[in-house]
């Protein structure tokens, strides 16, 4: 069983670029709404009970908030890179990257389109000015600008989605007969995700609704049998033939 490298690499590159364009479109939609309906004035964030009433999140200084947001990226990219390195050294099972790619095929369009259809004020007040979102008149920037931060990306948490997916990958790399090691890796991944959630809440990066919905939806997605079927059909050589034999499944760990 081996990967179909050409369609795998091609699909990954297209998804990467599509994610950049769609993320920029979400920021453009936020700026367009502010300029059109709010006369360019700041759009106040929604009232999030977890921020305002529990941890007083909106009283955090801006420079502290941005530092905590950087920690969200450090936690996310750190776990993803460690998992990929471990896969390359200890596993190299082709079904795991195939499943990851199939999950991305679903969540990237779904997350982006839903946020284009529903405009939600960013959790950061005056986000379009702070992150210097370009004009909504000349749209060429949508296709080439690197979206360091997006404005209005408030329905889903992409960082958490990647953490959940790669936590499952880390668990699935371990042989099924090593239950204790699997459990320890799962515990480490869940604790890592929990720490990331704390950074998200502390920095008012996203609303609590985004976090909880993302966790539930992504955990259900990665266990769906269609993901296994898509992975074997699209990215594995003779994948449907090998699928008849028992495969390691990405189990739900809600």
In this predicted structure, the answer to whether residue 61 has a pLDDT above a threshold of 60 is yes
**How high does pLDDT run on average in the chain?**
86
Which segments of the chain does DSSP mark as H helices, in order? 5-37, 49, 62-86, 95-117, 127-130, 158-172, 179-202, 208-221, 225-235, 239-242
Q: What would the mean pLDDT of 68-74 be, rounded to a whole number?
A: 91
Please tell me the predicted confidence (pLDDT) of residue 37.
82
Averaged over 18-23, what is the pLDDT?
A: 94
Higher pLDDT, 84 or 3: 84
242: pLDDT strictly greater than 90: no
Residue 146 structure tokens: 């690197």
Q: Copy the structure tokens of residue 97.
A: 């990257």
Which residue, among 142, 176, 157, has the nearest Cα to 216 in the 3D structure? Answer: 157
Q: Taking residues 83-108, what's their average pLDDT?
A: 92
- pLDDT for residue 157 is more than 50: yes
Q: Using CA atoms, how far apart are residues 254 and 251, in angstroms rounded to an integer?
A: 9
Stretch 115-123: mean pLDDT, rounded? 89
> What Cα–Cα distance (Å) separates residue 49 from each residue in 52, 56, 234?
5, 9, 43
pLDDT-derived band at 54, boundaries 50, 70, 90? low
Q: Does 249 have pLDDT greater than 50? A: no
Q: Residue 162 has what pLDDT?
A: 94
DSSP state, residue 89 = I
Share of the chain above pLDDT 70, in %: 89
Distance between CA atoms of 1 and 143, rounded to whole angstroms?
Answer: 37
Q: How far apart are CA 66 and CA 70, in angstroms?
A: 6
CA distance 26 to 43: 15
Token output for 194: 């929990």
- The whole-angstrom separation of Cα 188 and Cα 88 is 20
* CA 32 to each of CA 14, 28, 117, 151, 245: distance values in angstroms, whole numbers, following the listed order: 26, 6, 13, 11, 52
Note the pTM of the prediction, 2 decimals.
Answer: 0.86
Residue 181 has pLDDT above 60, yes or no: yes
pLDDT in the model for residue 243: 55
pLDDT for the residue numbered 252: 46
pLDDT tier at 217, thresholds 50, 70, 90: very high
């Amino acid at each position: 069983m081996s990967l179909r490298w050409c369609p795998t690499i091609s699909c990954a590159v297209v998804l990467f670029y599509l994610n950049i364009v769609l993320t920029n479109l979400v920021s453009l939609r936020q700026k367009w709404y502010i300029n059109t309906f709010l006369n360019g004035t700041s759009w106040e964030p929604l009232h999030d009970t977890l921020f305002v009433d529990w941890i007083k999140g909106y009283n955090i200084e801006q420079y502290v908030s941005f530092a905590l947001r950087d920690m969200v990226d450090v936690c996310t990219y750190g776990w993803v890179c460690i998992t990929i390195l471990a896969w390359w050294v200890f596993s190299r099972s082709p079904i795991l990257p195939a499943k990851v790619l199939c999950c991305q095929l679903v969540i990237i369009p779904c997350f982006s389109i839903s946020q284009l259809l529903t405009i939600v004020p960013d959790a950061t007040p005056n986000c379009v000015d702070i992150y210097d979102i370009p004009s909504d008149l000349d749209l060429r920037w949508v296709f080439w600008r690197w979206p360091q931060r997006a404005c209005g990306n408030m329905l889903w948490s992409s960082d958490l989605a990647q953490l959940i997916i790669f936590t499952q990958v880390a668990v699935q790399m371990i042989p099924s007969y090593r239950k204790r090691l699997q459990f320890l890796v799962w515990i480490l991944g869940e604790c890592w995700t929990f720490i990331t959630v704390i950074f998200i809440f502390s920095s008012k990066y996203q609303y609590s609704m985004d976090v909880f919905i993302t966790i539930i939806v992504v955990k259900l997605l990665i266990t769906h049998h269609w993901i296994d079927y898509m992975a074997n059909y699209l990215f594995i050589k003779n994948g449907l033939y090998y699928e008849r034999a028992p495969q390691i499944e990405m189990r739900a760990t809600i």
